[in-house]
Amino acid sequence: MDLPIDREKATLALDGPVNRVRLVSPARAKALEKLGIRTVRDLVTHFPRSYIDLSSVESCASARIGETCTIRGTVHEIKLKKPRYNLKLVEIALVDGTGIIVVTAFRQPWLMDQIKAGDAVAVSGKVTFDYGYKRMTNPFIEVIGGGEGPALTGTVVPVHPATEKLSAAWVRRIVANGLEEIRGVFDPLPLGLRLRYRLMGRQAALTAIHFPATPAEADEARRRLVYEELLYLELFLMQEGAERARDREAVAHIVDGPRVAAFAGALPFVLTGEQERARDDILGVLAAPTAANHMLLGDVGTGKTVVAGFALAAAADSGCQAMLLAPTEVLARQHAEGLGALLEAAGVGCALLTGSTAAPERASITERFAAGELDVLIGTHALLSDDVRPARLSLAVIDEQQRFGVDQRAKLLAKGEAPDALYLTATPIPRTLALALYGNLTLSYIKHRPHDAVSRTTRVLPRELQGEALDAARAALERGEQVYVVCPLVGKGTEERDGKAAGKRSDADAAGEEYHPAVAIEGEADFADDDVTAATREAEVLQKTTFPDFTVALLHGAMGTEAKREVMERFRDGAVDVLVATTVIEVGVDVPNATVMIVQDADRFGLAQLHQLRGRVGRGTKAAEVFLVSASTREESLARLAAMETTDDGFELAAFDLSLRREGDILGNRQHGASGLKLVNIMRDGAIIEAAHADAAALLDIDPNLEEPDHRALAREVRIAFSGEVVAGG
Ligand code: ADP
Ligand code: MG
């Protein structure tokens, strides 16, 4: 390459291991790995989740209660307190010329080593008032001068996602060093595009998104980086689409064969009109001799699964094979047991493959699948593994598709010649965005649930009144029905309650806001120890004091697969009456006899997630009640929760959520899963998506393989972002 040597070096540094960055000791490398950071690229794209504008500085006297601000002062006293077993908090009395503010930091005992009396400190957070003092709970704390590392220079401080082992302050320092490492990095965006949209250069944008001089600069940096992510995504999708179509012939499925008919006969209910229409759409698409992309959209509980069953049966009738990919073990198992049984009854051979399938069984399943002896393979991410080699794959169904990244989808589809793809989703997505994100796509909608006549009510309760929810739960249990109690995903709920137990009222919202982003839908791997503690305690209390005469069981993501499966089975069979769960149950779990759901700390969930959650009840023929318990007093949180009371329609909720412009809740970063999309919010960034779509098409028009010198860097970035390619680096 003809790059000057230092630029080339800086560019290659991106894909070097993170431990080459200054201050990254082996222990810190390990902590970084927990955050998903292995390379320098991972580090410099570990974007801040919020910023603190230190320019809104107040004094102890002028700081207004209920508002968020920054106060600089001197540490008068710092104390470690242990109000009870396994709870440590650090209390700091901070003074300035005007008064005093009491700062409480839960579970950060290391602050004792970092801060001492006399230090100049800045704290930033929400001001509350309690026991005669202005207070901040779990604020952002920064030692100004003294302490380790450089003092803050700018007025805008980034707050990066951090872990207990590695504070936000440390992440910030390490990111700064990472940026140093890639100084001079090559910008892969062609100059023409950069000029057209007046985009910042790559180095400048990466620097400014982490360390902006002003909030506006952070926005500009974000705009550039979002465009870049989207351009790569569009290039990837278009190239992949072209690849899929090239020299390949898709199967024209037989859609009126014996197994499809037998499957229809095996159903224990009559399809709704909408389900019939969706089934006909899908079978029509399968019958065509082209590789189709079809998306079936329908709110939770609208009965998408059986509709997909027809497609699976059609694949078998056509002498081909199909795969059904689900995001969690619980869901995959449920499909295998429910849908799988119906398919078997219709003469379609099914098997289940998950991460916990024992090795000999796995070998036998993959062997039979490879030999064409199995028609349908249902499973989790295990299906993506290389040893899964269908003999003749003609259909891939992806359930809860928003849980999967584009790279995973590509991997699944690559297992066949030109398989049709069917995506099932409960996440509303505007048509134009769907087209931009999935290329050629046909859509069907199911708007109503089969049992729409059955009522489901939702009520928001302040914490003091949660007894009403427990009463309703007891009434249901006494009718022989079952109950879900959902505990929040984030661990701060525990601390908040601990704080209360210790007689120190802390501010849930400030705590949640400072240290945890609005909760995005997480994978099972994301459950931290604290969440387990919260749920475990809840289960204990419920069993011992609230429902001693019923059986309470606990389900959380950190449990082993076997244990999880057993609990779910016992709940399904009615041996367990009350299931206390973290959000493991969020997706697709189906127990029609469950009629009451209580969600604790409901304000910590996104609306889309709450809606998914409540979809777990009201699935049978009995009326259901949902209680959203929240201690929040924030107007915005309460308005969001109130929307849950007003409408039971997921699409309407999504629109409402958008009107509040809450990032990440609906189709945020996480849900799009692909490693290459970290900043994009596909709702908010609609205009950029469309621009990137058009630009990618134009680029590929003149240079289909991105081989021209100007485009090679682009091609490389696309591969790194979406093909799961691991690039070796120095
Ligand atoms: P989702 O669209 O959320 O995936 P499911 O496919 O899990 O919904 O269906 C929800 C529940 O409704 C299941 O218990 C399913 O058996 C049931 N169901 C689906 N279609 C019908 C129907 N036409 N009549 C009655 N029950 C149905
Ligand atoms: Mg489903």
Strands 482-486 and 552-555: unpaired
Whole-number Å distance, alpha carbon 530 to ligand 1 midpoint, is 34
pLDDT exceeds cutoff 50 at 21 = yes
Render pLDDT for 544-555 as a digit per residue (tens, 0 to 9). Answer: 999 999 999 998
**Other Cβ atoms within 10 Å of 248 Cβ, number:** 12
- Kindly indicate whether the domain formed by 258-446 is annotated with CATH number 3.40.50.300: yes
Render pLDDT for 177-207 as a digit per residue (tens, 0 to 9). Answer: 999 999 999 999 999 999 999 999 999 999 9
Cβ of 305 below 6 Å from ligand 1: yes
Please name the residue whose Cα sits nearest to atom 20 of ligand 1: 303
Banded pLDDT at 499 (limits 50, 70, 90): very low
Instruction: Please report, for the chain, the start and end positions of each structural domain, with discontinuous segments joined by +.
Output: 1-49+160-186, 52-157, 258-446, 456-660
Find out whether 316 and 393 touch, Cβ atoms under 8 Å.
Answer: no
- Same-fold call for 1-49+160-186 versus 52-157: no
How far out from the chain centre does Cα 285 lie?
31
The gap between the terminal CA atoms of the chain, to the nearest Å, is 17
Sheet with 552-555: strands ordered across: 456-462, 624-630, 594-599, 482-486, 578-581, 552-555
Query: Residue 10: its pLDDT value, please?
Result: 86
Query: Residue 423: its pLDDT value, please?
Result: 94
The average confidence (pLDDT) of the chain is 83
How far out from the chain centre does Cα 463 lie?
27
Instruction: Calculate what percentage of the chain has a pLDDT beyond 70.
Output: 83
Cβ of 306 below 6 Å from ligand 1: yes
Locate the ligand 1 atom nearest the alpha carbon of residue 304 and give its number. Answer: 2
Whole-number Å distance, alpha carbon 595 to ligand 2 midpoint, is 18
Whole-number Å distance, alpha carbon 590 to ligand 1 midpoint, is 9
Query: Residue 145: its pLDDT value, please?
Result: 58
Q: From CA 80, how far away is CA 89, in angstroms rounded?
A: 6
Query: Residue 143: its pLDDT value, please?
Result: 77
Banded pLDDT at 252 (limits 50, 70, 90): very high
Query: Residue 107: its pLDDT value, please?
Result: 77
Render pLDDT for 636-677 as a digit per residue (tens, 0 to 9). Answer: 788 889 889 888 877 677 766 665 543 333 333 333 334 466
380 DSSP 8-state letter: S
Find out whether 529 and 491 touch, Cβ atoms under 8 Å.
Answer: yes
DSSP H helices, 40-127, are: 40-44, 111-114
- Name the residue of 590, 612, 616, 621 to mutate for ligand 1: max ligand atoms within 8 A of Cβ: 590
3-state class (DSSP) for residue 300: coil
Class of domain 1-49+160-186: mainly alpha
CATH architecture of the domain with range 52-157: Beta Barrel (2.40)
Q: What is the mean pLDDT of residues 562-571?
A: 88
Q: Which residues in 193-327 belong to E strands, given as ranges?
A: 293-298, 321-325
Cβ of 269 below 6 Å from ligand 1: yes
Render pLDDT for 209-251 as a digit per residue (tens, 0 to 9). Answer: 999 988 899 999 999 999 998 899 889 888 877 777 676 678 9
Cβ of 298 below 6 Å from ligand 1: yes
Query: What superfamily would CATH give domain 456-660?
Result: P-loop containing nucleotide triphosphate hydrolases (3.40.50.300)
Query: Residue 435: its pLDDT value, please?
Result: 66
Range in 377-381, 445-449, 538-542 the model is least confident about = 445-449
Q: Give the phi and the psi of residue 543 in degrees, each rounded to 5.
A: -70, -45
Q: From CA 286, how far away is CA 394, in angstroms rounded?
A: 9
Please name the residue whose Cα sits nearest to atom 1 of ligand 1: 301
Q: Two tokens at 685?
A: 């960034």
Find out whether 117 and 104 touch, Cβ atoms under 8 Å.
Answer: no
